[in-house]
Amino acid sequence: MENNRIIIFDTTLRDGEQSPGVSLNMEDKIQIGRQLEKLGVDVLEAGFPVASPGDFKGVQLLATELKNLQVTALARATKKDIDTAWEAIKKGANPRIHTFLATSDIHLKYKLRKTREEVLEMAAEAVKYASGYTSNIEFSAEDASRTDLDFLCKVFEKVIDAGATTVNFPDTVGYAIPWDFGRMVRYIMENTPNIHKAVLSVHCHNDLGLATANVLSAVKEGARQVECTVNGIGERAGNTAMEEVVMAIRTRHDCLPYETGINTRHISSTSRMVSTLTGMPVQPNKAIVGANAFAHESGIHQDGVLKERTTYEIMDPKDIGLSHGRLVLGKHSGRHAMKAKLEEMGYDLSEQEIDRVFIRFKALADKKKEIFPEDLEAIVAEEILRIPETYKLTYLHVAGGSGIRPTATVGIAIEGEERIGVSIGAGPIDAAFKAVAKLIETKSKLLRFTVNSITGGTDAQGEVTVRLQEGDRVVIGQGADPDIITASVRAYLNALNRLAYKK
């Protein structure tokens, strides 16, 4: 591989799924896996097979299904973990075993209760054992950014000798600062005698908001694999955002003379899919994929962009798959035109799925004169990219206004049987939520409620996100509709369906 080629290692389905409130089913994982393959990621970390039978099956399905990338599974430095990981991925195309062990003194003392010498031997033995299955082995030194660098060089030297072809330098707790992280990577490159026999990888967390900056500093000093997630999701404050690294390299090629295999035109649709399936909304001011990333409200900025886009836009929205042109689709448009536009937007749907989307499309077209790409994305999210529905909205009527006590009547199909509930509330949404809660008998607590407009105009679809907690479970639900009350109830039911699925 060329020295300027950066390997994109995507861990959305492993580290990303560890985000609080995220729970993906098998179909969700396959959908995201196929999209990541289309996007062009080099390595997909499918999960932690030993964690549960469900995780094992998910990894196994992905390894069997995806043949245009490497599927890897995470394993602790134990024979049982490595055996289980290999069993899950062995049918993949060039499958990779990814084993890890902590190396910082704080982890050795308080978590592992091992000496440096013991850890050195454990790491080498794990890699040697994994090499009995495959030559594609990655070793990660957990908490590397707080590890003594001379000891880390010894660990990397020993695991490379044992058969590791990739060694990973993670900033596990998001502790690093860009220039210091670059210094540490340079030290590893200069003081590990056999580092030329392996690819040096970096995996950064965003606790200080520096994950992308740390990664780019590491790449400058010789790292050639970047471990990241779509939308930067992950534990705590998340991981390095894949789209930020890829577009930084593309946009500032003068300073970052590197290449990736990512087809950037699929970035926007991949971001939307991951957001919908994980239930984690993208903040409006998020770099690259946020709703405001290419929006201009300042008169000076608007004037400049109208005269010449590059005055205030350093990237072309089309490069990530966004289209600012109007989608000439409306109530008279046919199924074929809608299907063609979906394919142009990067969606590869079955004929049955196209039929479901078309029904919603026609219903929306009766309410709106023009349908925008964002509207179509919201329909796909509602109809296709959702978990199984234990609860389904069948009827909604609300009454409210000045001098009228807000009342809601809600019909819900619960495992096929329709039930009707009525409630009053402080407002129409509050009344609708209370009616739903009474029907389903949920004790969940609403932690957050947010509303965004998908497009402009008074007939725009509203997109609602809710965050629910029940016991120690926290989930996020999303819903979209031109009627904001309907969108709210859809989002609430989506979250309740996620709770039911997790149970």
What is the phi/psi pair of residue 308, to 5°?
Answer: -160, 115
- 334, 361, 383 — which closes off a domain? 383
Clarify whether residues 34 and 17 are in a common domain. yes
Provide the token pair at 42.
């080099």
Cα 43–chain centre separation: 15
Distance CA 428, CA 433 (A): 9
Per-residue pLDDT of the chain (503 residues; tens, 9 = 90+): 468 999 999 999 999 988 877 878 888 899 899 999 999 999 999 999 999 998 999 999 999 999 999 999 999 999 999 999 999 999 999 999 999 999 999 999 999 999 999 999 999 999 999 999 999 999 999 999 999 999 999 999 999 999 999 999 999 999 999 999 999 999 999 999 999 999 999 999 999 999 999 999 999 999 999 999 999 999 999 999 999 999 999 999 999 999 999 999 999 989 988 988 887 888 889 999 987 888 765 566 656 756 777 777 788 888 988 765 444 576 677 888 888 888 877 677 889 889 988 998 888 888 877 777 778 877 887 777 667 788 999 999 999 888 889 999 999 999 889 999 999 999 999 999 999 999 999 999 999 898 887 777 777 788 898 889 998 888 888 888 889 999 999 999 988 988 888 77
Residue found by looking up tokens 């985000």 in the block: 19
- Residue 327 resides in a domain: yes
- Residue 97 resides in a domain: yes
Clarify whether residues 150 and 246 are in a common domain. yes
- Residue 346 resides in a domain: yes
Return the pLDDT at 26: 85
Q: Is 426 exposed, middle or buried (0-12, 13-18, 19+ CB in 10 A)?
A: exposed
Clarify whether residues 355 and 428 are in a common domain. no
Beta bridge partners of 466: 449, 477
Distance CA 13, CA 16 (A): 6
Q: Tally the domains of the chain.
A: 3
Clarify whether residues 210 and 344 are in a common domain. no
Clarify whether residues 367 and 240 are in a common domain. no
User: Whats the size of the chain, residue-wise?
Assistant: 503
Segments forming the whole domain that contains residue 330 = 323-383
Return the pLDDT at 20: 78
Q: Please name the amino acid found at residue 209.
A: G
From the list 12, 43, 18, the residue with the least C-alpha distance to 166 is 43
Return the pLDDT at 327: 47
Clarify whether residues 370 and 396 are in a common domain. no
- Residue 308 resides in a domain: no
Clarify whether residues 137 and 32 are in a common domain. yes
Q: What number of other Cβ atoms are within 10 A of residue 252's Cβ?
A: 12
- Residue 245 resides in a domain: yes
- Residue 88 resides in a domain: yes
Distance CA 402, CA 248 (A): 52
Clarify whether residues 370 and 399 are in a common domain. no
Q: H-type helices in 131-254, by residue range?
A: 149-162, 178-191, 211-220, 242-251
- Edge to edge, the sheet with strand 404-414 lists 391-401, 404-414, 417-424
* CATH code of the domain containing 411: 3.30.160.270
Clarify whether residues 419 and 470 are in a common domain. yes
Return the pLDDT at 431: 96
- Residue 288 resides in a domain: no
Clarify whether residues 444 and 331 are in a common domain. no
How far apart, in Å, do the first and last CA atoms of the chain sit? 46
Clarify whether residues 463 and 401 are in a common domain. yes
Structure-derived torsion over alpha carbons of residues 209, 212, 217, 223, reported in degrees to the nearest 10: 130
Clarify whether residues 338 and 396 are in a common domain. no
Distance CA 429, CA 432 (A): 5
- 383, 412, 427 — which closes off a domain? 383
